[in-house]
Amino acid sequence: MHHITTIANLRTTLAPHRLQGRSIGFVPTMGALHAGHMALVERSMAENDITIVSIFVNPTQFAPNEDFAAYPRQEAADFELLQNAGVDYVFTPGADEFYPEGFATTVTLTGPALGLETDFRPHFFAGVATVVSKLLNCVQPTRAYFGEKDYQQLLVIKHMVRDLNLPVVITPCPTLREIDGLAMSSRNAYLSPEMRVKAALIYKTLNDCAQNLRAGATVQDVLKAGVERLQSHGFAVDYLALRDAASLEPITNLTSPARLLVAARLGSVRLIDNIGV
Ligand code: AMP
């Protein structure tokens, strides 16, 4: 596995592959890799001639009060995982090169970026969309892989790629979960053992809500009961919402396909998850 740290080196390294007509699969990450990330990597390796993974904890998607400084960084362990998986290239851009002095351009979003995460992290998707468009422009992959774990992010990226005519296929990948259903996340490392046990209730609540919706209960009643259940176990619920699965528009009746999305905090740890209904 080759480690690339500069954009110039990335371009000269990938150009011959492109000239030879090799497909390039790309998995952007913030590191602290787990089996969820590795599922994206394996999918990319199965579908492409070359796979490149980026690790970049993107400062512009964190608000000043968020966990940028504390975000888990474990480059040696990440490299070992990627190397053992047979990844061809890992790209770790430097923040100074990626955001040079005077950096002044940001992607502006509406559509699926409105509401949900944006109500609680207004800065977030502009930071994500800008860094992903930069990464896509640097790597110029054939396909890029994103997890349904971050469902709103996935739709934001799909819309951006369509709207800005970026020449890449966005491939969604299903959420990988722990045995008790908790969606794998780098931030799960912040959970105390007691919180970790409680955290499984998020996925259970999503599934019970989906089952009750399918059984004909009203959306309002189901969401109210779901929020109250999480609150009664000590969660602070940012949102529990039923949305159209393609547009993320709010829906008041169960139309197919729909998506249930949740963000809830246990102490200072914020967890998100979603399922199809
Ligand atoms: P992150 O490092 O959190 O920015 O995530 C990098 C990519 O991995 C994103 O496309 C995430 O949606 C995806 N991802 C994170 N956790 C999971 C998971 N549990 N299952 C599937 N994909 C995931």
Residue 94 makes CB contacts below 8 A (sequence gap 6+) with 5, 6
* Cα 31 to ligand 1 centre (Å): 10
Where residue 257 falls among pLDDT bands split at 50, 70, 90?
very high
pLDDT band at 255 (very low <50, low <70, confident <90, very high): confident
Percentage of residues of the chain with pLDDT beyond 70: 100
User: Rounded to the nearest 5°, which phi and psi values hold at 274?
Assistant: -165, 155
Residue 242 backbone dihedrals phi, psi, to 5 degrees = -105, 125
Sequence-distant (≥ 6) Cβ neighbours of residue 165 within 8 angstroms: none
Cα 67 off chain centre by: 16
Whose alpha carbon is nearest atom 22 of ligand 1? 147
Query: Closest residue (by CA) to atom 14 of ligand 1?
Result: 147
Query: Across all residues in the chain, what is the average pLDDT?
Result: 97
**Ligand 1 centroid distance, CA of 36 (Å):** 6
Cα torsion for 159, 165, 166, 168, to the nearest 10°? 80
Distance in angstroms (rounded) separating the CA atoms of residues 190 and 19: 44
Q: Could you tell me the pLDDT band of residue 256, with boundaries at 50, 70 and 90?
A: confident
Q: Is 90 exceeded by the pLDDT of residue 88?
A: yes
pTM over 0.85, yes/no: yes
CA of 207 to the centre of ligand 1 (A): 20
Which atom in ligand 1 lies closest to the alpha carbon of residue 150? 12
